[in-house]
Amino acid sequence: MNFSKMHGLGNDFMVIESIKQDFILNQSIIKKLSNRNTGIGFDQLLLIEKSNNLKFDFHYRIFNSNGNEVEQCGNGARCVGLFLLLKGLTNKKTISLSTNKKNIFIKFIADNNIKVNMNEPNFKLEEIPVSKKITSKNFCVKLLNKNLICSLVSIGNPHCVIQVESINNAPVKKIGKFLEKNSIFTHGINIGFMKIINKNHIQLRVYERDVGETQSCGSGACAAVAVGIAKNLLCDNVKVDLLGGSLIIKWKGFNYPLYMIGPAHHVYDGYIYI
């Protein structure tokens, strides 16, 4: 199986296509491949397939390092776009991808940046989804002797955003582990820790479901900005500083799509027998 190792601001991926090659993947194989000591090592595996819908160029699937399939990955979308271009699978400057949850559109722009239409953020609780105990998209959880205000949104995958006073001192691992598989989130949750610098600038750390804290999370950046704008705390053009670098998120508000702009990087190509 041929593959590429890629990353978006340090959020790293194994990218493969099943258009020109045949192979079989299962949860056990993906877990072995993701091992950073004995395998390729990655946060997510990205699989590109032929689209069964003529409206879309390709179909795109995402698997976490534990082999679970998930709905969305913003950094991964940019890497998929670059992969398709580098491998000669398309020469289009705008690419349409179908996914298991939402469809996305990728556009190549100047300075090695890629713009992704992530669709409109969804604040409906049934789209998160959560247990019946939660009746509001903003709710309070008591942890570490503090009342944490959790704000929920779906960017095709579920996110919980918590505003913090210090990005460096935020107990990301403790809170992340507590909330990630909490029974109130029936399909798990990604947790973002957001520090607002000003209306056009935030800092963010993200604890990803099934993965732990990553260097960056594109959908997490989209979620944090969407929550900030919905609460009138942020403007419609926001720089998001993550551990691995920065993204630009643009959203005019409800009834408009949200856009993410950032780089993607190809590290190396390889092949492995499975």
Catalytic residues: 73, 217
Q: What is the DSSP letter of 169?
A: T
> Side chain identity at 29, as an amino acid letter?
I
Return the axis-axis angle of helices 218-230 and 74-86, rounded to nearest 10°: 130
Per DSSP, what are the bridge partners of residue 160? 152, 191
> What are 258's two structure tokens?
């949200």
Q: Distance between CA 57 and CA 55 in Å, rounded?
A: 7
Q: Write out the E strands in 92-251.
A: 94-98, 104-108, 113-117, 138-143, 146-154, 158-163, 190-198, 201-208, 212-214, 237-242, 245-251
Inter-CA distances, 180 with 27, 50, 111, 231, 256, Å: 20, 32, 36, 23, 29
- Please check whether residue 189 is in contact with residue 182, taking contact to mean a CB–CB distance below 8 angstroms: yes
> What are 118's two structure tokens?
């992530």
